Structure 1
């Protein structure tokens, strides 16, 4: 059997860039593509362990939850910033000039 070198690639069969050169982070769609690619190419006589699959799904769920929480917290922080600026403006208008 001949052995050939395997070049690292992503789910779209594109070469993986060295660390620090790519600015895009993996998202939900990337995870789903990787998972479906893994399932397509697994050995049917030696499938992925059920516990490993459940662990991957739990990790994905955690990452998705953290992402949603981050978005929500950013929205709340933006609203607080706007409210604080509004209160500062109202306060400046109502204080008597010295």
Structure 2
């Protein structure tokens, strides 16, 4: 009897786990966080519920992470724009030196 490879596993209450499992936290987004939060709330022990301060701390951490990711994206765009401006500046310098040479050559009497 052969055993096929496992492509998906079953989690709590028969829910399939995400294909993102094992890829690290970098691939998780807001939708994944909401799924985790609702699963946590659905599966908590009614006699010992999760402390509100813990849930607020998790929400604050997620908000901070989201803000950091937005800043990283913005800084990446700014960096790319800086590279483009540097290339434009180099081309303008070349153009200015070429124009200066042409101007000095044409200004010289023959």
Which bin holds the TM-score, normalised by the shorter protein?
Answer: 0.7 to 0.9
Aligned with 2:49: secondary structure? coil
**Structure whose residues are more often helix by fraction:** 2
Q: Higher RCO, 1 or 2 (CA under 8 Å, sep at least 6)? A: 1
Quote the residue 1:79 is aligned against.
Answer: 81
Aligned with 2:80: secondary structure? helix
Shift of 1:17: 7.5
The TM-score, its normalising length taken from structure 2, stands at: 0.66
The TM-score, its normalising length taken from structure 1, stands at: 0.73
Aligned equivalent of 1:35, options 34, 37, 47: 37
Aligned equivalent of 2:17, options 14, 33, 57: 14
CA radius of gyration, larger in: 2
- Aligned residues of 1:42 and 1:48 also touching (Cα < 8 A): yes
Aligned equivalent of 2:63, options 61, 64, 72: 61
CA distance in 2, matches of 1:89, 1:9: 58
Structure 1: segments with no counterpart, 5+ residues: 1-6
Q: After the TM superposition, which segments of 4 or more aligned residues of structure 1 sit over 6 Å from their partners?
A: 15-18
Residues 15 and 33 from structure 1, CA distance in 2 versus in 1: closer, same or farther, beyond 3 angstroms? closer
Residues 66 and 8 from structure 1, CA distance in 2 versus in 1: closer, same or farther, beyond 3 angstroms? farther
CA RMSD of aligned residues (A): 2.8
- Aligned residues of 1:8 and 1:15 also touching (Cα < 8 A): no
CA distance in 1, matches of 2:60, 2:68: 12
Aligned residues, how many? 88
Quote the residue 1:46 is aligned against.
Answer: 48
